[in-house]
Amino acid sequence: MKKRSLSEVTEREEAEAEFPAPLYPEPTPAAFNLHRENLLVEIDRQSVNALQQPRVRRRITVTVFSAAVAFAAITAVVLPNLGTSPAPKVAPASTASVQLLEQAALTATVNPPTSPRNMQFMYVKVTGHTTALSENQDGKMERSRQSENYEQWTSVDGSSRTVQRQGGANETLLDAPGQGSFGLPTYRFLEKLPTDPTELLKVIYREAELNHGEGSDSTTGPDQQAFVMIGDLLRASVAPPEVSAALYRAAAHIPGVIAIPSSVDAAGRRGVAVARVHDGERSEWIFDKETTLFLGERTVLLEDNAWGKAGTAVTSTAVTASGVTDKPGQAPMRPSEQSGTSST
């Protein structure tokens, strides 16, 4: 190593006295690790935005000279973007949505317990519409509204074929659901689900991760898929009251869930809603404002796209009756008591 002359040392000391280095207080290890993680998340996020591709986790090697130097470098990279970039993590469910979901859970538990026999059927009656896209002869995409009006009878134990009646006329026989699944729930499948909300959410997330987790081609993501899965179970099936309550309480732990003060279902019934925004769309679960009974669902566009203009409800459904029956084609005697939904 070259030895510095006395004059060089003197000049260095004079320069440091005249222009002292900026002060970067030594951060705590916890603060340093937090900022380091933020840096890595920011690098990943900006890379994905630039490529417009599904997120891929990359291994990033960071050489750390000292905690103080690294802290300064991280601050320099991250802080200029804070005013223009969205937060990398989604906020927890809002307080208002948690309170509404808890009230819905309490309402569900008021329902008398059901003990259907294996030879019986779960019954739901749904009205509404969905939007479909199709390509015309000119190569342009056209929107069309399709009916979602149907009645459905699903075997309690999955041993018999499912019957669906659309528009009050044609009956469609579907395959027997067997033991049941999240996609084809039977009553026996639902009653085996955990009634502890935390454990139930773990089960739902494991299912959501299969096709919507990290490394998949899905743009939905496990949080949104978990919200959709719970909504489908609430709309399309009859569950034990304690399971319905657990589903509501599990949803309160999904990030990004919010409350909507006013919404309307496909039957024209107005209420309040919990919702989650994803990719320019808001998925809503609608509840009666007075009783917090589940009414239905809808998906509203928040920005113009191929499916329609902002504010359009591209899907809207209402559960108008549900319960347990002895055979397909039969309506339950007291559907509102069986399901906690109002009947029409």
pLDDT in tens, 116-172: 999 999 999 999 999 998 887 777 888 899 999 999 999 999 999 999 999 777 799
Tell me the mean pLDDT in the region 224-248. Answer: 94
Which amino acid type is present at position 117?
R
What is the per-residue pLDDT for 334? 59
What is the per-residue pLDDT for 223? 96
Is residue 257 classed as helix, strand or coil in its secondary structure?
Answer: strand
Gyration radius from the chain CA atoms:
27
For residues 122 and 150, give the distance between their C-alpha atoms in angstroms, rounded to a whole number: 14
Tell me: pLDDT of 288 over 80.
yes
Tell me: pLDDT of 185 over 50.
yes
What is the per-residue pLDDT for 3? 52
Q: Which of 150, 102, 109 is nearest to 130 (CA)?
A: 150
What is the per-residue pLDDT for 237? 83
Instruction: Say if residues 198 and 253 touch (Cβ distance below 8 Å).
Output: yes
What is the per-residue pLDDT for 2? 47
Tell me the mean pLDDT in the region 16-32. Answer: 44
Full-model pTM:
0.71
- Name which residue leads in pLDDT, 282 or 1: 282
For residues 156 and 317, give the distance between their C-alpha atoms in angstroms, rounded to a whole number: 23
Tell me: pLDDT of 294 over 50.
yes
Tell me: pLDDT of 298 over 50.
yes
Q: Give percent of the chain above pLDDT 70.
A: 71
Angle at 122 between CA 121 and CA 128, to 5 degrees: 135
In this prediction, residue 13 has a pLDDT band, given cuts at 50, 70 and 90, of low
Tell me: pLDDT of 102 over 80.
yes
Tell me the mean pLDDT in the region 173-202. Answer: 96
pLDDT in tens, 26-59: 444 544 444 444 444 444 444 333 333 333 322 2
What is the per-residue pLDDT for 218? 82
For residues 220 and 229, give the distance between their C-alpha atoms in angstroms, rounded to a whole number: 12
What is the per-residue pLDDT for 6? 54
Instruction: Say if residues 322 and 311 touch (Cβ distance below 8 Å).
Output: no
Return the minimum-mean-pLDDT range out of 7-21, 48-62, 223-237, 249-263.
48-62
For residues 86 and 324, give the distance between their C-alpha atoms in angstroms, rounded to a whole number: 47
Q: Which of 10, 306, 334 is nearest to 134 (CA)?
A: 306
Which amino acid type is present at position 332?
P
In this prediction, residue 63 has a pLDDT band, given cuts at 50, 70 and 90, of very low
* Structure-block tokens of residue 300: 């509203």
User: CA-CA distances (angstroms) from residue 279 to 85, 210, 221, 276, 305?
Assistant: 16, 20, 11, 10, 11
Domain boundaries along the sequence of the chain: 6-81, 95-339
Place of tokens 């008398």: 112
* Backbone phi and psi for residue 170, each to the nearest 5 degrees, phi listed first: -60, 135
For residues 36 and 105, give the distance between their C-alpha atoms in angstroms, rounded to a whole number: 40
CA dihedral 34, 87, 95, 220 (to 10 degrees): -110
- Name which residue leads in pLDDT, 22 or 253: 253
Tell me: pLDDT of 316 over 70.
yes
| Most confident segment among 67-76, 157-166, 229-238 | 157-166
Residues 41-49: contacts with CB under 8 Å, at least 24 apart: 41/88, 41/89, 42/77, 42/78, 42/81, 42/85, 42/88, 45/85, 45/88, 46/81, 46/85
pLDDT averaged over every residue in the chain: 78
